[in-house]
Amino acid sequence: MKRFLISAGVQLVVLPCFLLGADAERAEAAERVAEFKTAALSREEGAGAQQVQARQLVDLASELRGRRYLFAGERKENYLKAGDAEMMAGDLESAAVGNLDKAAQNWLSLAEASRSVGNEEGRRTALISCEDARGKARDGCKRALEAYERAVQDYGPENGADEKKAAAAAERVAALREQVDARR
């Protein structure tokens, strides 16, 4: 089957269908490459914002633990607030890890799509970005674990004395330890 195209209204040009199909496939593959790159960059940007918020909460918790107290009840109250801040920091770091994992998947898909269009340099760059995202995810997992461990201490009997919150934080510590071990 052949397609006929009229160029400048005068000439009749005959092109085989497979040439038109190849161009369409290349255009579609190039579009997929752009979509994967945009998705990966968006995930990394979101993870970065979550990590900034987590660091701010960790700083707040540290400041709360370091305060001097005028009344006996203030110490317990500040340790509970510090524990809450550490829990939120751990949750944000965990969410950032999820975003970085998705970014790594997108970078991997981008590498595959780049290979299919013959862009070897783009494939190598995407694989490097994938490994970078995985490394950031490992680091974020460790920071989340550390935040939850500090929350356990803040909620503990010698500080905030909230057994339910301490147990919830300890449960998250156990889950994150498994994730950290699995990522090695």
pTM of structure: 0.82
**Which residue's entry shows tokens 């550490």?**
86
Closest CA to 113 of 35, 44, 43: 35
**Residues in the chain with pLDDT values less than 50:** 1-20
In single-letter form, the type of residue at position 88 comes to M
- Are 90 and 150 in contact by the 8 Å Cβ rule? The answer is no
Ordered domains of the chain (ranges, CATH): 24-182 (1.20.120)
pLDDT tens figures, 30-58: 888 889 999 999 999 999 999 999 999 99
Closest CA to 48 of 11, 95, 15: 95
pLDDT tens figures, 153-173: 999 988 888 999 999 999 999
From the CB of residue 126, how many other CB atoms can be counted at a distance below 10 Å? 25
Residue 21: its pLDDT value, please? 55
